[in-house]
Amino acid sequence: MRLIIASNNAHKVREIRQIVGRYFSDMSTLREAGLEIDVLEDGETFQENAVKKAEEVLAAAPGFDAALADDSGLMVDALGGAPGVHSARYAGEGHNDAENNRKLMADMRDVPDGQRSCRFASAIALARRGKATLTVIGYAEGTLLREARGQNGFGYDPYFLYPPLGKTFAELSAEEKNAVSHRSRSLALLEQALEAERA
């Protein structure tokens, strides 16, 4: 089965390939497939955005059997679930990870340490020709730190403390993160859904 990954984000693509690569005979990114498509992520939930992205990419990629799309972000309880679906552009359109993190730290400045619970969410949609689109969502629970720790990862990873390991996501190796991340959990749920179809 030929799969197109609806992303050019090197970090996401590497994680997806490492976790589910064995389930597909061929996996290509948008760039590798020579496809230029910019799906407007205007959904109110991660699931809505993932489904829209997967289905639009599959429709634009006739040489592929399926398209996998991910929409993920950080949800902070003290901020009512923000940044949420706006995680990538929390500081505004065109802003980068550092600016998003600066805004998040500013918004959380007065929140006590015991009230900084948060979670990463990852919704994954697998659109397939002639079949219903599968959608799953996985979470990783954590605590938001006040200072960055670690050099790995991307986005909000340096501020996201994963209590079971006592490290931020940016302090974990790729293998460690893949074992516990929100994306690994959603990909595991996707595998379960695919296995259930075959049963």
Mind telling me the catalytic residues? 71
| Angle, CA of 141, 145 and 148, to the nearest 5° | 115
Question: Which residue's structure tokens are 């991307």?
Answer: 154
Query: What does DSSP say about strands 2-5 and 66-76: parallel, antiparallel, or unpaired?
Result: parallel
Q: Is 97 exposed, middle or buried (0-12, 13-18, 19+ CB in 10 A)?
A: middle
Helix (H, G, I), strand (E, B), or coil: what is residue 160?
A: strand
191 to each of 72, 93, 98, 145, 186, how far by Cα in Å? Answer: 18, 34, 34, 32, 9
* Concatenated DSSP letters of 45-69: SHHHHHHHHHHHHHHT-TT-SEEEE
Contact (CB, 8 A) for 56 and 7: no
